[in-house]
Amino acid sequence: MVQGSIEALTKEELLQLYRVARKINSIEDLKQLLSEVMDIAIETVGAERGFLVLLEGDEISVRVARGMDKEDVENPEEISYTILKEVVKTKKPVLTANAKSDPRFSGAQSVLLYNILSIVAVPLIKKGRLVGVIYLDSRTQKRTFTEHDLLFLSSFADLAAIAIENAEAREKLELENIRLRGVLGEKFGRASIVGKSKALMEVMEMVERVKLTDVPVLLEGESGVGKELIARYIHFTGPRRKGPFVPIYCGAFPETLLESELFGYKKGAFTGAVEDKKGLFEEADGGTFFLDEVSEIPAGVQVKLLRVLEEGKFRRLGETKERQVDVRIISATNRILEHEVTEGRFRQDLYYRLKVVKIRIPPLRERREDIPLLVEHFLELFTGGEKKITPRALEALMEYDWPGNVRELENTISYAVVMCRDDKIDVKHLPPEISGEVIHTEKPRTLREIEREAIIQALASTGGNKKKAAELLGISTKTLYNKIKEYGL
């Protein structure tokens, strides 16, 4: 920056700098930010045209070219490159009141060609590094630039550099966000919800309708039926997909902790509150808040939750100030929440707030037609389609009752994939509770097969801990290692 700068500026100029500073935080789009920043510079200095040039490696690229009337300049290449290069080389500002008679530039082709009269150009310096140039010119006698303009423009360039840095960082984040959203979109698109049964279609029909709205949705269904999957689908394919999806497992916290998780707290609100903390409601602002295991919320927290749902307002613990958030609520439970109300464990008013739309996701045994599709889906997921299932094994899966629903089916397939060494999963590869009855009708298994399965089960039940697994099997760790190798596990 030029020495003694700020003090010498007029009130009007300071005001303009202040406007730039404000803009830095309000505009997220880099191109728009740069254009507006240039407009302010042009207006304040009374220039005819303004260029913002950024350096990318050795390349000089004109990012913004603006005219007096806040419009883009038609021929942005009509700029004095001689002067730009001078600024880039020396990292010092250049001011010339009359370029045509200035011995430094009078020979420059562009000056003559484009009839440029007065030019002021200042370096944009970010963390000590030259990143670009702000260049203003005037081609008529109307305005010839002065030292004072240079002074203003230098302060201005310092602010602009910060603005650019901010906007670039934000742009990068935004790109990363878009990329992640793409990944999530794939993961949570319609294809991720497998099944064609009438029961599931009815659920999806409701889901497609509610996902476009903001109404609170309560998802009821047994464990493992896909409640969270559907909650995510609603969020990631609905209008709030650009906002956050924030899940909380209400059963995982004791009362006071749940409260501070939900609403946040102020520093000093309780021992251990060493700094202010945002609650998940605030984290979910603009997006969807997924209250999982909602029946587990203790009475004290139910009251506070009701208030947020009624008024959209809440307070952080230990704070008097009210905060407002814009969140869409989806809740889930594997109980019948109405029973919890009758039993007096859940507030009726809160229940009505949460279940504006209630969707019951039927258990897998009520939609057995989905089983083959799900099996195929999980086989594809786990083996890339390398393993198939025999009709007999599929039949056993169709007949089983699935108390753990789709999650149990998913685990069963992953178990079978491990148990099966060739590319056909048969009944004998299924867990005993499913294969049980069928297995007796089969020809006896070899000792090797039985041994292999025993090892797999021991490893599975000890989470892969070989020492513990060996103990369980009553063999030495060394023997276990040998057998693992032998069976290619």
Q: Evaluate whether 331 touches 291 at the Cβ level (below 8 Å).
A: yes
Select the residue whose beta carbon is closest to Mg ion and give its number. 228
Compare residues 228 and 285 and give the one whose CB is closer to Mg ion. Answer: 228
Size of the site for Mg ion (CB under 5 A): 1
Q: Which residues bind ligand ATP (CB under 6 A)?
A: 193-195, 221, 223-229, 334, 374, 377, 406-407, 410
Compare residues 388 and 407 and give the one whose CB is closer to ligand ATP. Answer: 407
The nearest distance, CB 363 to ligand ATP, in angstroms, is: 10
> Could you give the C-alpha distances from 315 to 258, 269, 312, 377, in angstroms and in order?
14, 12, 11, 45
> Could you give the C-alpha distances from 127 to 6, 130, 131, 216, 222, in angstroms and in order?
20, 8, 9, 48, 57
**Cα–chain center distance at 56:** 29
Q: What CA–CA distance (Å, rounded) separates 166 from 105?
A: 35
Q: What CA–CA distance (Å, rounded) separates 432 from 155?
A: 77
User: What single-letter amino acid sits at 485?
Assistant: K
User: What single-letter amino acid sits at 254?
Assistant: P
Compare residues 16 and 333 and give the one whose CB is closer to ligand ATP. Answer: 333
Burial class (CB in 10 A: 0-12, 13-18, 19+), 376: middle
Compare residues 122 and 231 and give the one whose CB is closer to Mg ion. Answer: 231
CB atoms within 10 A of CB 456: 17
Q: Evaluate whether 247 touches 290 at the Cβ level (below 8 Å).
A: yes
Q: Are strands 59-67 and 328-333 parallel, antiparallel or unpaired?
A: unpaired
137 binds, among ligand ATP, Mg ion, none (CB under 5 to 8 A by kind): none
The nearest distance, CB 227 to ligand ATP, in angstroms, is: 3
The nearest distance, CB 171 to ligand ATP, in angstroms, is: 34
The nearest distance, CB 206 to ligand ATP, in angstroms, is: 15
407 binds, among ligand ATP, Mg ion, none (CB under 5 to 8 A by kind): ligand ATP
Q: What CA–CA distance (Å, rounded) separates 187 from 384?
A: 16
Compare residues 223 and 324 and give the one whose CB is closer to ligand ATP. Answer: 223
The nearest distance, CB 418 to Mg ion, in angstroms, is: 24
The nearest distance, CB 436 to ligand ATP, in angstroms, is: 23
Q: Of 307, 348, 347, 353, whose CA–CA distance to 330 is shortest?
A: 353
Q: Tally the residues of the chain.
A: 489
420 binds, among Mg ion, ligand ATP, none (CB under 5 to 8 A by kind): none
Q: Evaluate whether 333 touches 220 at the Cβ level (below 8 Å).
A: yes
406 binds, among Mg ion, ligand ATP, none (CB under 5 to 8 A by kind): ligand ATP
143 binds, among ligand ATP, Mg ion, none (CB under 5 to 8 A by kind): none
Compare residues 95 and 361 and give the one whose CB is closer to Mg ion. Answer: 361
Q: Evaluate whether 95 touches 145 at the Cβ level (below 8 Å).
A: yes
The nearest distance, CB 210 to ligand ATP, in angstroms, is: 17
52 binds, among ligand ATP, Mg ion, none (CB under 5 to 8 A by kind): none
- All residues at 6 or more sequence positions from 461 whose CB lies less than 8 Å from its CB, including other chains: 469, 472
Site string for Mg ion, 171-210 (x = CB under 5 A): ----------------------------------------
284 binds, among Mg ion, ligand ATP, none (CB under 5 to 8 A by kind): none
* Helix H or strand E segment including 62: strand 59-67
Compare residues 16 and 331 and give the one whose CB is closer to Mg ion. Answer: 331
Compare residues 16 and 334 and give the one whose CB is closer to ligand ATP. Answer: 334
Compare residues 168 and 376 and give the one whose CB is closer to ligand ATP. Answer: 376
Residue 247, strand partner residues: 290
Taking CB under 5 A as the binding criterion, the range among 89-97, 175-183, 221-229, 308-316 that sits at the site for Mg ion is 221-229
Compare residues 182 and 189 and give the one whose CB is closer to ligand ATP. Answer: 189
Give the HSE-up count for residue 61: Cα atoms under 13 Å, Cβ half-sphere: 6
Residue 214 binds to Mg ion (criterion: CB under 5 A): no
Site string for Mg ion, 222-261 (x = CB under 5 A): ------x---------------------------------
Q: Please report, as ranges, the residues that interact with Mg ion according to CB under 5 A.
A: 228
